[in-house]
Amino acid sequence: MAQRTATKIKKGKDVIALNIIAYTFTGLIALICLVPFIMIVTGSLSSEAAIIKNGFSLFIQDFSLEAYKTVFEQPMVVVRAYITTICLTIVGTALGLLLQTMTAYVLVRRDFEWRNFFSFFFYFTTLFSGGLVPYYILINNTLHLRDNYLALLLPLVFSVYNLLIMKSYIMGLPDSLIDAAKIDGCGEFRILFQIVMPLIKPALATVGLFIALAYWNDWYNAMLYIKTEAKYPLQYFLYQRVNDIEGYKKLIANGTVSSQVVSSVSLPTQTLKMALTIVVTGPIVLAYPLVQRYFVQGITIGAVKG
């Protein structure tokens, strides 16, 4: 009995030590993950003069909404970028899900003898690729998609990685389900849409969110293929604005443009950058608590399947 309490106390000590380490470590990392976000929020709510004087910090300095006012001076510019991104995300996610589910469904069907051939056909594209230049020429010169929304839509609509996640979900369904449906005389499309799809809702949510996130955060394809400012999606719009501001500063530094000219335009540059970032990131951070669960599920599936 005495020995038992002794081991209990001993156990208690190392548990406490571990708990202190665990809580501190995870807390610290969570904080480090959060700090850059806080700096953007506080920066966007500070006055330009205070930022120039003191630099960025964790606190709001001399509260001001000037930067947000500047962002929304021409609200249509931001709204247009928003509409572009939202439309792309919705259309792209819907199309991508349809494409990926339909393909995955066929590739897991055991009575389809050619499924291994086709699986390899898709898989091989992850092993070897033509690289940037042939793709660039394909979009620009062969398909003539320069400055076309399709150049933003098509590159992200299908991915073998998402196909694999989808496949592993559908593989989890019992074969007897599909067999029974076939005996009842269901066609393949009906089995897919009315029996399989309702059963893999979590997979649709997960893969759908992966696709949606890829569209929402895409700036790369816009940089390569979109030249008209009015067609910029949100992230590239932000990228351009941030770099414009930097460009201005360089011009001032080089003496090409007198600082008076610029200050007469009075761009609240640093805070404007922050406010723009908030406007662009806001929705995804707000939606984050709702969708996080599905991401975790998706990654877990990925981890199990390797």
Partner 1 sequence: MSSPAKKKNGVKGFFKKLYKYRVFLLMLAPAVIYTLVFAYYPMTGIVLAFKKYNYNGGIWGSPWNGLDNFKFFFKSGQAALVTKNTVIYNLIFIVVNTVMQIAVAVFLTEIRGKHYRKVTQSLMFLPYFISWVIVGVMAFNIFSSDYGFINRLIVSLGGEKIPFYTQPTWWPFILVFFNLWKNIGYGSVMYLAAIMGIDTSIYEAAAIDGANVFQRIFKVTIPSIMPTTIILLLLSVGGIFKGNFDMFYNLVGNNGLLYQKTDVIDTLAFRALISSNDFGMSAAIGLFQSVLCFITVIFVNWLVGKYDRDYTLF
Q: How far is the CB of 174 from partner 1 (least distance, A)?
A: 20
Pick the stretch among 59-67, 69-77, 187-195, 260-268 that binds partner 1 (CB under 8 A).
187-195
Among 41, 91, 146, 302, binds partner 1 (CB under 8 A): 302
Residue 11 found at the interface with partner 1 (CB under 8 A): yes
DSSP states of 11-41 as a string? HHHHHHHHHHHHHHHHHHHHHHHHHHHHHHH
C-alpha distances (whole Å) from 229 to each of 178, 235, 239 are: 49, 12, 12
Nearest to 51 by CA among 35, 67, 36: 67
Task: Locate all alpha helices (DSSP H) within 57-128, ordered by sequence.
Answer: 66-71, 75-108, 115-127
Given a contact cutoff of 8 angstroms between Cβ atoms, the answer to whether 153 and 159 are in contact is: no
Among 114, 175, 177, 247, binds partner 1 (CB under 8 A): 114
Q: How far is the CB of 79 from partner 1 (least distance, A)?
A: 19
The rounded distance, in Å, linking the Cα atoms of 165 and 108 is: 12
Given a contact cutoff of 8 angstroms between Cβ atoms, the answer to whether 44 and 279 are in contact is: no
Pick the stretch among 67-75, 170-178, 254-262, 290-298 that binds partner 1 (CB under 8 A).
290-298
DSSP 257: S
Nearest to 179 by CA among 103, 248, 80, 111: 111
Q: How many CB atoms lie within 10 A of CB 10?
A: 10
Among 6, 59, 62, 134, binds partner 1 (CB under 8 A): 134
Residue 213 found at the interface with partner 1 (CB under 8 A): yes
**Torsion from C-alpha of 136, 141, 142, 144, nearest 10 degrees:** 100
Residue 136 found at the interface with partner 1 (CB under 8 A): yes
Residue 149 found at the interface with partner 1 (CB under 8 A): no
The rounded distance, in Å, linking the Cα atoms of 261 and 104 is: 59
Residue 210 CA neighbour count, 13 Å, CB half: 25
Helix (H/G/I), strand (E/B), else coil: 300: helix
Residue 33 found at the interface with partner 1 (CB under 8 A): yes
Residue 177 found at the interface with partner 1 (CB under 8 A): no
Tokens of 288: 């984050």
Q: How far is the CB of 175 from partner 1 (least distance, A)?
A: 16
When the beta carbons of 134 and 172 are compared against partner 1, the nearer one is 134
Among 1, 127, 265, 290, binds partner 1 (CB under 8 A): 127
Residue 131 found at the interface with partner 1 (CB under 8 A): yes
* Total residues in contact with partner 1, by rule CB under 8 A: 102
Residue 44 found at the interface with partner 1 (CB under 8 A): no
Pick the stretch among 21-29, 62-70, 71-79, 258-266 that binds partner 1 (CB under 8 A).
21-29
Residue 190 found at the interface with partner 1 (CB under 8 A): no
Which 227-286 positions form the footprint of partner 1 (CB under 8 A)?
235-236, 238-239, 242-243, 270, 273-274, 277, 280-281, 284-285
Q: How far is the CB of 72 from partner 1 (least distance, A)?
A: 19
Pick the stretch among 17-25, 60-68, 174-182, 193-201 that binds partner 1 (CB under 8 A).
17-25
Q: How far is the CB of 304 from partner 1 (least distance, A)?
A: 7
